[in-house]
Amino acid sequence: MNQVTLRGIDDVHDLLTKVGPRVAQNLMRSTIHSIAGGIAKSAKKNAPEDEGDLRKAIKPKRERGMRGKLLSTVRVNPVAFYWRFLEYGQGPDGEEHAMFMRAVEEFRRDSDGIFVREFGRKFEAALKRAAKAG
């Protein structure tokens, strides 16, 4: 059985660029989408309680990126078009809920840590799948 020892970010970078650039791209796509999912979860938590479908409508969406760029966004389905009014304080209650602004601020406080944790989880899962396959 072959064994690989990784001692830092440079080793991970070398492994991914030499052995599997396609695996690296899929791994990064998955990591970015997972981070968008975390931001969506935080926005749902900060969204006001209402009788509509606002909380259900907040979802991460994997987008088609340009060459060399990966993209995932957090969207609100068109059913809950009124989220903009709540976000900027123009809703019927006149209160600014700012659920997306709060979610982004939570992410910015620990963005490096979040990225490292998510990448680590995805990379570990990819290594386990590769060990099972071969």
Task: Indicate whether 2 belongs to any domain.
Answer: no
Task: Indicate whether 114 belongs to any domain.
Answer: yes
User: Which of 62-76, 81-95, 112-126 is predicted least confidently?
Assistant: 81-95
Task: Indicate whether 19 belongs to any domain.
Answer: yes
Give the pLDDT confidence score for residue 34 in this predicted structure: 92
Mean pLDDT across 84-101 = 77
Count of domains for the chain? 1
Task: Indicate whether 112 belongs to any domain.
Answer: yes
Q: Is residue 1 over pLDDT 50? A: no
Task: Indicate whether 92 belongs to any domain.
Answer: yes
Task: Indicate whether 16 belongs to any domain.
Answer: yes
Task: Indicate whether 132 belongs to any domain.
Answer: no
Mean pLDDT across 111-126 = 86
CA atoms lying within 13 Å on the CB side of residue 72: 18
What's the pTM value of the predicted model, to 2 decimals? Answer: 0.77
Task: Indicate whether 108 belongs to any domain.
Answer: yes
Range of the domain at 95: 9-126
